[in-house]
Amino acid sequence: MTLKLKSNALLIAAGLLSAQTAFAGSLAPAIEDSAVEVVTPSAVDWSGFYAGATAGYLSGSSLFCQEGASETCEGNPQDFDLPEPEPEGNVFGLTGGYNWQNGPLVYGVEADISKANADGSAPDSSGYGCGGNCQTDILAIATLRGRVGYALDKWLPYATAGVGAMQVEVGFPDYDPATLNKDIIVTPVIGLGVEYMASEKISLKLEALHFFEKEELVPADNDPCGAPCGPTDIEASVLRFGVNYHF
């Protein structure tokens, strides 16, 4: 009787062990099949040449003065009320550049040129006569800048700085159109932006640039004042949208 019970116990134990092994073997594939696979998205490669177009809005300021007068162009010691034309209008143009990438760090160089339709005029003031309106228009802008950004896959926030140029037209058109003078002023430019890689080759960007104040007289033509006169302290800010094609 005792031998029979022992024999049955051994058979039951062997059966349980066999069932456990079979269950574990069938469970392993099920666990593997149900495991969640984490896929890391591939990083966008921002390196290489690109070119595109931009469009946006420009807002600027200027201050009319006369050399040798109380409202000297190096300052206004008697605090005269002076005309301050503020050119405003749209800008649109072309841009191109090259990026290098080291991990998430993206750095490069960019150049652009844009036509501007930014007109500004201010009437005579109590301290300064314009013969009607003083005029400061910005006709075109261009920049050559470095860019440094941090790639977040399809997003690239960046900072930028370099040199900018503005073509301006200044003078006293109501007094005499012959006083209008075109000139190019050069000034530092800085900015911030963000770019988004919308497809394999196309990116979109939003960018803000500031052209620093140029504290230098841009004289009107034909000497209408008896001494050089015109706008100084010319500066501008640009907010623009861009589309780039990456080669």
Q: What Rg, from alpha-carbon coordinates, does the chain have?
A: 35
Element (H, E) at 3: helix 2-34
Positive or negative torsion for Cα 118, 211, 225, 129: positive
Distance, CA of 198 to chain centre: 17
- In the chain, where the domains are located: 1-39, 48-246
* Mean per-residue pLDDT, 32-56: 72
Q: The domain at 48-246 falls in which architecture? A: Beta Barrel (2.40)
Positive or negative torsion for Cα 58, 63, 64, 65: negative
CA proximity to 205, closest of 47, 42, 49, 56:
56
The pLDDT score that the predictor gives to residue 126 is: 87
Distance, CA of 196 to chain centre: 12
For 191-236, the pLDDT digits (tens) are 999 999 999 999 999 999 999 999 999 999 998 998 999 999 999 9
